[in-house]
Structure 1
Amino acid sequence: MRFYFIGGLGSNENHMSEFAHCFPYPITYLDPYKVKLESAKDLVDWFEAHADSNENTCIIAHSLGGDLARYLASRIPQMTHLVLLDGGYLNMNQILPLEQEIEETLAYLKQQVFPSLEEAVASELGDAENPSPTTIKAIQSSYRWNSDLHHYELDLDPEAVLSLLRLRRELRSFQVPLIDIKALFIGPKYEDEPDWRAQALETLDPSIKKLLLKDLGHDFYTAVPKLVSKEISNWIGICS
């Protein structure tokens, strides 16, 4: 079986490196945030251009990547397994209007500018203690130097990002039926769940095995990569 990983918005290959090191199978990182995907066909064509179509396939995907992966699962014949890491289950239209999401995203991209890479890293880490070298490298890799404006900025193309936000709404992946696909959902379990998230988890497709982890945040696969790897590996062994 071939394994692929699609991260969330703003992530890069370094974010999954510790998980990939723990995972017992070779896994290929795919980055949909460097290309402009404007339609469902663009998404399928992009995946097929990077994936081996001759073997059974499992996609492990985080956050927005989960929305893309769940749609791909319904369109790629060789897809047999799907792992959603806190993604692929939300109806964004019930959370906030697209116009507001676009406005807030653009504001965030404009805000994340720093005179030095050290300041960019410090801002991302916040109060985190003893960050791993991998975490620091992942943050550093998320930024690029803008020689015209003389600052570091997020290494994202705003137009490509906005295109993906629009596409997610069009795909409506949370409704996509997973026929003949073995699927696992792993997400954090918060003490005070927002109503919209609690409802989405309650109505998650019953064919998807659900696992909620306590005392973790949205990026839990970077915080506890060994645990996430173990849970996925055990699930694959049981359902294969």
Structure 2
Amino acid sequence: MRFYFIGGLGSNENHMTEFAHCFPFPITYLDPYKVNLESPKDIEDWFEAHADTNENTCIIAHSLGGDLARYLASKIPQMTHLVLLDGGYLDMDQILPLEQELEETLAYLKQQVFSSLEEAIASELGDRDNPSPATIKAIQSSYHWNSDLHHYELDLDPQAVLSLLRLRRDLRSFQAPLTDTKTLFIGPNYEEEPVWRAQALETLDPSIKKVLLKDLGHDFYTAVPKLVSKEIINWIGVCS
């Protein structure tokens, strides 16, 4: 079986480094955030251009990446296993209007500008103590120098990001059937769940194995990569 990883919006391959080190099989990182994907066909073409679909495939996907992966699972027969890391299960129309999401995302992208990488790293880390070298490298790799405006900014094409957010609404992949795909959902278990998230978890397709981890945030796979890897390998062993 071949393994692929699709990260959440704004992530890069370095965010996966520690998880990949813990995972016992080779895993290929796929980045959909640097290309302009405007239609479901674009997503299928993008995946087939970067992945070998001649073998059984497992995609491990985080956040927005989970929406893309779940859609692919409904279209590609060779995708026999799917791992959703807190993604691929939310109806975004129940959370906020599309135009509001687009406006807030664009405003965030415009705000993330810094005079130095050190300033960017400090802003991303906040009060976090003793970040790993992989975490620092991931933040550094998320920014590039804009020589015209003389600042560091997120290395993302705003229009490509907005196109992907629009496409997610059209895909409605949280409803995509997973009849022929074994699926594992891993997510954080918050003490105070937002109503929309609690409802989404309650209505999760019963064929999906659900694992909720306490005392962790949305990016839990970077915080406890060994635990996440163990959960995935144990599940594959049971369902294969």
TM-score greater than 0.5 by the shorter chain: yes
Contact map agreement 2:22 2:229 (CA 8 A) in 1: yes
Residue of structure 2 equivalent to 1:101: 101
Contact map agreement 2:6 2:65 (CA 8 A) in 1: yes
Residue of structure 1 equivalent to 2:115: 115
Identity of aligned residues (%): 88
Q: TM-score, normalised by structure 2?
A: 1.00
| 1:189-228 mapped onto 2 (5 Å cutoff) | 189-228=189-228
The Cα shift of 1:46 comes to 0.4
Contact map agreement 2:5 2:29 (CA 8 A) in 1: yes
Residue of structure 1 equivalent to 2:130: 130
Distance in 2 between the 1:175 and 1:134 partners?
Answer: 35
Distance in 2 between the 1:77 and 1:196 partners?
Answer: 31
Residue of structure 2 equivalent to 1:169: 169
Contact map agreement 2:90 2:197 (CA 8 A) in 1: yes
Matched letter for residue 216 of structure 1: L
Matched letter for residue 197 of structure 2: R
- Report whether the alignment pairs 1:7 with 2:7: yes
Gaps of 5+ in 2: none
Contact map agreement 2:77 2:180 (CA 8 A) in 1: no
The Cα shift of 1:91 comes to 0.2
The Cα shift of 1:77 comes to 1.4
Matched letter for residue 94 of structure 1: Q
The Cα shift of 1:179 comes to 1.1
Q: Secondary structure at the match of 1:139?
A: helix
**How large is the Cα RMSD of the aligned pairs?**
0.4
Cα shift readout 1:195-225 (whole Å, capped 9, x = no counterpart): 0000000000000000000000000000000
The Cα shift of 1:146 comes to 0.2
- Report whether the alignment pairs 1:50 with 2:44: no
Distance in 2 between the 1:191 and 1:110 partners?
Answer: 32
Q: TM-score, normalised by structure 1?
A: 1.00
Residue of structure 1 equivalent to 2:91: 91
Matched letter for residue 195 of structure 1: V
Matched letter for residue 63 of structure 1: S
Gaps of 5+ in 1: none
What is the count of residue pairs matched by the alignment? Answer: 240
